[in-house]
Structure 1
Amino acid sequence: MFSTSFPKSSRALGATLLVSGLLLSGAASAQIATPAASPKSTVTQRVGLTDVTITYSRPSVKGRLVFGDSTSKAIVPFAKRWRTGANQTTTIKFADDVVLEGKKIPAGEYGLYTIPGKTIWTVVLSKNTKQGADVDGFKAADEVARISAKSTKLANKVETFTINFSDLTPSTANVDMQWELTSAKFKITTDVDTKVMAQIDEKVVKGTAATANDYAAAAVYYYDNDKDLKQALSWIQKANEKDAKFWNVHTEAKIRMKMKDYKGATTAAEQSKKLAVEAKNADYAKMNDELIAQAKKAK
């Protein structure tokens, strides 16, 4: 009777060949990595106290006509819904509730679709972030808001589609979409005051362990935003009682100046200047000289 078993050396050789074959098969099936024609990009900006994140893919002009009417060979025709980039739908995420061009938008992530026009773009926020280029699958129920974005002509060509944030203020920013010779912007407004006032209430008004920095920050916010100046003065005085820094004493001088207490403003500015000179800070010394001159002139 013949044996059907193989010698140990043959079995070992077979196992080696099997493993080698599997490795070669895996290597053959692995894709070769090459640069994407429209690379993915993520840009995040803090607007006020709210983080806004936009994720999109960036196509390039490559000698083509980008925007145009339906009779042209434009790759983004006017009056047609666009995913606002290439590949997947562009998304925009708000960490908190915001206002876009006067319309309230709840915190969350949305598909950012646009309908370009010659002078005005329509920006569509949708709950659907996966629609891509399929314009037939959109549902009205998924739409969160439609806003308008003014389109302008750029002086210099932008080869690769770019979305950035511009014109920042303490509570607002514009989302600026640029490609070829076209720019379209829409404005984001965030609720800074509610958040800051809640912090002031917690740490300064109701808190029992407020630091000099807490008092100073509350006073500066009240001063900058034309709130109760008497309260601002009280807080900056407490800050200076705890730790008199030349910049905080200068804030007291500015608050008194705004309250038309010119004598008090002069006294505080002189003290701030003395501290600034001791700290070898020429900028604040000069700022105090200017404030003293203004106070004397206003008397």
Structure 2
Amino acid sequence: MKNNFAALALMASMAVFMSACTSSTQETPPEQAAPVVQEDTPGNTAAQQDTIKKSIPSQAQGAIGGTSIKISYHAPGVRGRVIWGGLVALDQVWVTGAHKATAVTFDKEVIIDGKEVAAGTYAFFTIPGKEEWTIILNKDHEQHLADNYDQEKDILRVKVSPEILGQHQERLKFEITSTTPTKGAITVAWDKVRVYLPVSTDA
């Protein structure tokens, strides 16, 4: 009887030992690596492509002479559309942007086309044409598009010649450039067309 108990005890001990050995030699599955997320970089074409469909609220700021100039506008994109003579009618008053009237603010008096323009905020309208554009500054800058445009509120009209760009400008862009200490221009570019409104100051 005692021999039987001893044999059973030995067999149980061996079973425990074998189980422990099996557990200690079982491989642990490798950890899964975290997924790699590719970020857009300046060299990534997808990052540079303008895919926004709506017109973007934008501002251009600069100085000509001692006068600070700010232009507030909405910038639409071309998005494969015909712009001149299509989306934008030729020979008609255009908001030169989208949604609200484009507004230009001068903090001091400026001279445009030989006329003195007092400090203040004005609507910036244009009349695009194939050979000639008309740039308009109007007193009523608080309006939707050019819905309430009133020619009697114009403070000046300037005829300018459009320039054909060598590169496509996807989104409407205003710029303020200074060429001398007292002279510069407001520039409007979109699609493949650019126009300049010369601006000067006394100082």
TM-score under structure 2 normalisation? 0.71
Does 2:192 align with 1:181? yes
Q: Give the CA deviation at 1:144.
A: 1.0
Report the residue type matching 1:82 in the other structure: W
Query: Superposition pairs for residues 15-94 of structure 1, below 5 Å?
Result: 37-68=54-85, 74-94=86-106
**Pairs aligned (count):** 152
Report the residue type matching 2:137 in the other structure: L
Q: Give the CA deviation at 1:148.
A: 1.6
Aligned counterparts of 1:188 and 1:163: Cα–Cα separation in 2: 14
Aligned counterparts of 2:53 and 2:162: Cα–Cα separation in 1: 28
Query: Superposition pairs for residues 114-263 of structure 1, below 5 Å?
Result: 114-135=126-147, 137-192=148-203
Secondary structure of 1:141's counterpart equals: helix
Structure 1 residues 92-112: Cα deviation after superposition (integer angstroms, max 9, x where no partner) = 011111111222211110000
Secondary structure of 2:179's counterpart equals: coil
Secondary structure of 2:136's counterpart equals: strand
Report the residue type matching 1:108 in the other structure: G
Secondary structure of 2:77's counterpart equals: coil
Q: Which stretches of structure 1, 4 residues or more, deviate above 6 A after TM superposition?
A: none
Q: Contact conserved, 2:127 with 2:135, CA < 8 A, in 1?
A: yes
Q: Which protein has greater RCO, CA pairs closer than 8 Å, 6+ apart? A: 2
Does 2:96 align with 1:96? no
Structure with greater helix share of residues: 1
**What corresponds to 2:40 in structure 1?**
none
Aligned-pair RMSD on alpha carbons?
Answer: 1.5
**What corresponds to 1:111 in structure 2?**
123
TM-score under structure 1 normalisation? 0.49
Q: Please, which runs of 5 or more residues in structure 1 have no aligned partner?
A: 1-34, 69-73, 193-299
Structure showing greater radius of gyration is: 2
- State the identity %: 28
Structure with greater strand share of residues: 2
Q: Contact conserved, 2:100 with 2:142, CA < 8 A, in 1?
A: yes
Q: Please, which runs of 5 or more residues in structure 2 have no aligned partner?
A: 1-51
Aligned counterparts of 2:149 and 2:78: Cα–Cα separation in 1: 27
Q: Give the CA deviation at 1:36.
A: 7.1
**What corresponds to 2:44 in structure 1?**
none
Q: Give the CA deviation at 1:167.
A: 5.0
